[in-house]
Amino acid sequence: MASKGAARVRKKEIVKVIHGALLRTNIKAQMASAAPPLGPQLGQRGLNVANFCKEFNKETGHFKQGVPLPTRITVKPDRTYDREICTPTTTWLLKQAAGIGRGKASKDEIVGKLSVKHLYEIAKVKSRDKALQHVELEHICRMLIKTCRTLGIEVQYHDLNPDELKEFLVARKEKVDAQLKELADKKAAKMLRTT
């Protein structure tokens, strides 16, 4: 009998994953839906996804649709929650101010230009976030300058000359168009090789 019991295949133990009470995620304004990744994240924590999305979309109605908003959701044991919606992400604000769609592709590439005045205005917006309420504007501006460096945005400590900026943007558009054409050509060549 002992040999029969030993020969049985043991079922794998199911390990239940316990999720933390705090969920940090970026949700696009007026575009919360039950689709992944948001729906499963909320469902795993036992929240009513449809109600959350409806309330979130209503609450973010004053934002432009599609703006990424950092959101912190604290789930309580009785499956209620507290939601904190922050101001738009720093990178999105900087890209919008510089008029660019993406950051730098190579190490020394400059994709846009901003003045310190732009950074100061963005810092005033970001200072409304709960996490940055007691941080000085000067420190927030320094954090923004570091983010600008990683994105490839040049920070100028004087006012931007409109003519120089226009010249830069025209040259930048030509460069981006050339890069996109090169990528399209590579993709077309790859498709020809595979067929």
pLDDT in tens, 182-192: 999 999 888 88
State which CATH number among 3.40.50.970, 3.40.50.1780, 3.30.1550.10, 3.40.50.720 fits the domain covering 22-85: 3.30.1550.10
22 CB-near residues (< 8 Å, 6+ apart): 72, 73, 74, 75
Question: In this predicted model, what pLDDT tens digit does every residue of 15-74 receive, in sequence order?
Answer: 666 667 899 999 999 999 999 999 999 988 889 999 999 999 999 999 999 999 999 999
* 51 touches 66 (CB < 8 A): no
Q: Which CATH superfamily is domain 90-188 in?
A: Ribosomal protein L11/L12, C-terminal domain (1.10.10.250)
**What is the pLDDT at residue 17?**
61
- Give the integer Cα–Cα distance in Å for 46 and 40: 10
Determine whether 112 is exposed, middle or buried from the number of CB atoms within 10 Å of its CB (0-12, 13-18, 19+).
buried
**What is the pLDDT at residue 7?**
56
- Give the integer Cα–Cα distance in Å for 82 and 45: 13
Task: Write down the domain spans for the chain.
Answer: 22-85, 90-188
Determine whether 83 is exposed, middle or buried from the number of CB atoms within 10 Å of its CB (0-12, 13-18, 19+).
middle
Is the pLDDT at 1 greater than 60? The verdict is no
The two structure tokens encoding residue 75: 């789930």
The structure's pTM equals: 0.79
Residue-wise over 63-79: b if at least 16 C-beta within 10 A, else e? beeebbbbbebebeeee
Its sign, for the CA torsion 74, 76, 79, 83, is negative
- Give the integer Cα–Cα distance in Å for 134 and 126: 11
**What is the pLDDT at residue 147?**
96
Name the residue among 41, 39, 40 with its Cα closest to residue 24: 41
Question: In this predicted model, what pLDDT tens digit does every residue of 162-178 receive, in sequence order?
Answer: 898 889 889 988 988 99
Question: In this predicted model, what pLDDT tens digit does every residue of 82-134 receive, in sequence order?
Answer: 999 999 999 999 999 998 888 888 888 899 999 999 999 999 999 999 989 99
**What is the pLDDT at residue 134?**
92
User: CA dihedral defined by 151, 152, 158, 163, rounded to 10 degrees?
Assistant: -120
* Pairing assessment for the beta strands 153-156 and 112-115 based on DSSP bridges: parallel
